[in-house]
Chains A and B, each alone.
Chain A
Amino acid sequence: MRDVCIVGIGSTRFGRHAGTPIEQLAAQAGAEALRDSGIDRGRIGALYLGNFISGPLNGKEILAGIVGDQLGLPNIPCTKVEGACASGGIAFRHAWMAIASGECDAAMAVGAETMTHAAGAQVTAALNCAMDNEDDAPSGLTFPGLFGLAWRIHAQRYGTTRAQVSAVVRKNKAYGLRNPLAQMGADLTDADIATSAAICDPLQLFDCCPTSDGAAAVVLAARPLLAELRSVPVDILASVQTRGAARIAGHPDLCSFDATVSAAQRAYAMAGIAPADVDVVELHDCFSIAEVIDSEDLGLVPRGQGAVWAAEGRTAVDGQVAINPSGGLLAKGHPVGATGIGQIYEIVRQLRGTHPNQVPGAEIGMTHNLGGTGVACTVSLLRRAA
């Protein structure tokens, strides 16, 4: 396998982009990433695009080819990948593999989603395509509901309190206020969170990520190409994708996602580092309790201590391991197919030292993208190039 670097990044703001077609959002992010890299477009050998529900919500498929066309790329393979909320992370991994394997010297990964134009019921129905519709969905369960199940177990088993989980919300919403790409930053009190609309017990409205439009893109290149490029490169130490249980009933523990656990273990082994080496993480906080569970599954926080660490400030930018300084899905937003690439964008800014919520001296960053009811997961480890 060859060494691969991230040499360019681009992202739209996450939020509402009323009237802008999805492929144009993707092209905006892609063009920004190409300009950032300084690469000649003719060198791009593959494009992978992460998207989840442009079919049901926009009536648009073949997005990868459309975006490649909009970006004026050569007649290269342009491939859409789908893994629900992990679609972006999967696109990134495929672009990395295309270069690492020697198939091409440079590649793009793009993620895009538009959701805010659709009615709430239409969005819910489309998102529920990521659930097992034979065994799980007939119960009337929803995605917030899945995390309600997990929260109850976490509370019973570890004594996790509402106020501790609210610390995750307050942290991410505060970081969102200072991230110009974020959709929904806010300065919240515990009372604001606890009295927001009840969604599914124990989740309130502020425990849930918003519905978002947005796109993000990255350009990857083999290390020998760096001499031609002007950007500050970031090394890809590892990029891992795993499958977890496809049905809720298939999870041995509803309070842990084995796809995350195995992806993290393989990523640490591939990179030759330990969890304690990670300075900054963008992880999949689709719900507040998800950040708690993810931080434990990734081995960053002792099992059962995810919410306690947040409440003690140990996952803040100046803490032991900075978690979601972008604002995360909770505040930055969750344009589903774009989220995984948006996480890479945020970590690259951290490792370049140019993030609006900069982690001082960040050298190693991690991204974690989780899809469906835990059926698809990607974990990537990135390092500031020496």
Chain B
Amino acid sequence: MTAADPSVPTLPMLRCAGCGHLDTPAHTVCRACLSADLRPVGIPATGRIVSFTTIRRAPSRFRDQAPYHVAVVDLDAGPRVTGRLAATSPAPALGARVRALRPGPADLLFTIRDDS
């Protein structure tokens, strides 16, 4: 599968018009060059699991979903993000390929890809 795959949603990110640094949307200033000229871009929501854990004692807003997996994912396009795995996802493993099920990054939800 490639970035052009229509089954893979894009994740909204910000690209700095000054230096090209790609980062999550929770910014108004580029941490690399301090430019305030950050442009919304979509990047392919695919990546690889760096690590994961299974949350069994959850914060109150997630309690009805526990237990659930949280994974740190290195996106193929560069940024590292923290997201939850969908309840329907196959079991995670270190290095497993994932794709996002819905556009994040707030409440980013991943699933393990079949081609892991």
Interfacial chain B residues near A247, Cβ < 8 Å: 82
A135 near B26 with CB under 8 A, answer: yes
Q: How many B residues have CB within 8 A of the partner chain?
A: 30
- The reply to whether the CB of B99 lies closer than 8 angstroms to some CB of chain A is no
Cβ-closest chain B residue relative to A144: B57
Stretch at the interface among A57-65, A149-157, A275-283: A149-157
A249 near B80 with CB under 8 A, answer: yes
User: How far apart are B67's CB and chain A's nearest CB, in angstroms?
Assistant: 8
Task: Tell me the chain A residues, 105-153 only, with Cβ under 8 Å from chain B.
Answer: 121, 124-125, 128, 132, 134-142, 144-145, 148-153
User: How far apart are B91's CB and chain A's nearest CB, in angstroms?
Assistant: 11
B56 near A198 with CB under 8 A, answer: yes
- The reply to whether the CB of A200 lies closer than 8 angstroms to some CB of chain B is yes
Interfacial chain A residues near B68, Cβ < 8 Å: 140
- The reply to whether the CB of B108 lies closer than 8 angstroms to some CB of chain A is yes
Interfacial chain A residues near B51, Cβ < 8 Å: 149-150, 152-153, 254
Count contacts between A and B, CB distance < 8 Å.
93
A142 near B79 with CB under 8 A, answer: no
A148 near B53 with CB under 8 A, answer: yes
- The reply to whether the CB of A248 lies closer than 8 angstroms to some CB of chain B is yes
User: How far apart are A3's CB and chain B's nearest CB, in angstroms?
Assistant: 39
B54 near A121 with CB under 8 A, answer: no
Cβ-closest chain B residue relative to A203: B53
B94 near A138 with CB under 8 A, answer: no
- The reply to whether the CB of A199 lies closer than 8 angstroms to some CB of chain B is yes
User: How far, in whole Å, are A19 and B6 apart by their CA atoms in the complex?
Assistant: 60
B72 near A248 with CB under 8 A, answer: yes
A139 near B50 with CB under 8 A, answer: no
Task: Tell me the chain A residues, 284-331 only, with Cβ under 8 Å from chain B.
Answer: none
A135 near B72 with CB under 8 A, answer: no
Which residue of B24, B26, B51 has the most chain A CB atoms within 10 A of its CB atom? B51
Task: Tell me the chain B residues, 48-94 only, with Cβ under 8 Å from chain A.
Answer: 50-62, 65, 68, 70, 72, 79-84, 94
Interfacial chain A residues near B59, Cβ < 8 Å: 121, 124-125, 128, 137, 140, 142
User: How far, in whole Å, are A326 and B82 apart by their CA atoms in the complex?
Assistant: 35
Are A140 and B106 CB-contacts (below 8 A) given A135-B81, A249-B81? no
- The reply to whether the CB of A190 lies closer than 8 angstroms to some CB of chain B is no
User: How far, in whole Å, are A325 and B77 apart by their CA atoms in the complex?
Assistant: 46
Cβ-closest chain A residue relative to B62: A140
- The reply to whether the CB of B12 lies closer than 8 angstroms to some CB of chain A is no
Q: How many A residues have CB within 8 A of the partner chain?
A: 34
B53 near A139 with CB under 8 A, answer: no
- The reply to whether the CB of B103 lies closer than 8 angstroms to some CB of chain A is no
Interfacial chain B residues near A137, Cβ < 8 Å: 59
Are A134 and B26 CB-contacts (below 8 A) given A140-B68, A152-B94? yes
A142 near B26 with CB under 8 A, answer: no
Partner of A152 from B52, B82, B84, B108 at Cβ < 8 Å: B52
A145 near B70 with CB under 8 A, answer: yes
Interfacial chain B residues near A125, Cβ < 8 Å: 59-60
Interface string of A248-282 (1 = CB under 8 A from B): 11100010000000000000000000000000000
Cβ-closest chain B residue relative to A141: B70
Interfacial chain A residues near B83, Cβ < 8 Å: 139
Interfacial chain B residues near A199, Cβ < 8 Å: 56-57
Interfacial chain B residues near A124, Cβ < 8 Å: 59-60
- The reply to whether the CB of B107 lies closer than 8 angstroms to some CB of chain A is yes
Which residue of B24, B54, B65, B79 has the most chain A CB atoms within 10 A of its CB atom? B54
Partner of A139 from B26, B54, B80, B82 at Cβ < 8 Å: B82
- The reply to whether the CB of A201 lies closer than 8 angstroms to some CB of chain B is yes
User: How far, in whole Å, are A128 and B61 apart by their CA atoms in the complex?
Assistant: 12
Interfacial chain B residues near A148, Cβ < 8 Å: 53-54
Cβ-closest chain B residue relative to A153: B51
Interfacial chain A residues near B65, Cβ < 8 Å: 140
Partner of A138 from B50, B58, B108 at Cβ < 8 Å: B108
User: How far apart are A132's CB and chain B's nearest CB, in angstroms?
Assistant: 8
User: How far, in whole Å, are A137 and B108 apart by their CA atoms in the complex?
Assistant: 11
Task: Tell me the chain B residues, 32-52 only, with Cβ under 8 Å from chain A.
Answer: 50-52
Known: A142-B58, A149-B51, A152-B94. 10 other contacts (CB 8 A): A135-B81, A135-B105, A137-B59, A138-B106, A139-B84, A140-B62, A140-B84, A200-B54, A202-B53, A249-B82
Q: Which 5 A-B pairs have the closest CB atoms?
A: A148-B53, A134-B26, A249-B80, A140-B62, A201-B54
Please report B residues at the A interface, Cβ cutoff 8 Å: 24, 26, 50-62, 65, 68, 70, 72, 79-84, 94, 105-108
Pull 9 A–B residue pairs with CB atoms less than 8 Å apart, ordered by A: A138-B105, A138-B108, A150-B51, A152-B51, A152-B94, A153-B51, A200-B55, A200-B57, A202-B53
